[in-house]
């Protein structure tokens, strides 16, 4: 027998965390989450912030020096993973059309 699903029975997804400003401790945790391969969507849900704020942390535009603090903390917490992690900076890839690419269509 088919069960009818009414709007009252549909479970809603938990709402994102209330928006708040990121702190330096959050920035350190965001770096560590990056190295543990936590999905960006999960970070956005956890901190309830705009995706640009996450990238500002990864590019060290906000909270400079947190990457070094996060590396030290990561080495203390996860010594078995230290040799498997790339601690490199985030590299922004521009999606704008570069004028030199127009010659490809000639």
pLDDT score at 102:
63
**Prediction pTM value:** 0.70
pLDDT score at 20:
75
Rounded to whole angstroms, the maximal C-alpha distance in the chain is 64
Backbone angles phi, psi at 40, to 5 degrees: -60, -40
pLDDT score at 85:
85
For residue 48, with 0-12 CB atoms within 10 Å meaning exposed, 13-18 middle and 19 or more buried, which class applies?
Answer: middle
pLDDT tens string, the chain, 106 residues long: the values are 444 444 444 444 444 556 778 899 999 999 999 999 999 999 999 999 889 999 999 998 999 999 999 999 999 999 998 888 888 877 777 777 666 666 666 6
pLDDT score at 39:
92
Question: How far apart are alpha carbons 53 and 27 in whole angstroms?
Answer: 10
């Amino acid at each position: 027998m088919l069960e009818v699903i009414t709007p009252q029975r549909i479970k809603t997804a938990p709402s994102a965390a209330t928006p708040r400003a990121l702190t330096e401790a959050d920035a350190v945790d965001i770096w560590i989450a990056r190295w543990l391969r936590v999905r960006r969507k999960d970070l956005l849900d956890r901190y309830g912030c705009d995706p640009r704020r996450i990238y500002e942390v990864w590019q060290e535009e906000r909270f400079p020096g947190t990457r070094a603090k996060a590396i030290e903390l990561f080495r203390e917490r996860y010594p078995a993973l230290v040799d498997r992690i790339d601690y490199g900076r985030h590299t922004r890839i521009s999606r704008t059309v570069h004028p030199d690419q127009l010659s490809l269509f000639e």
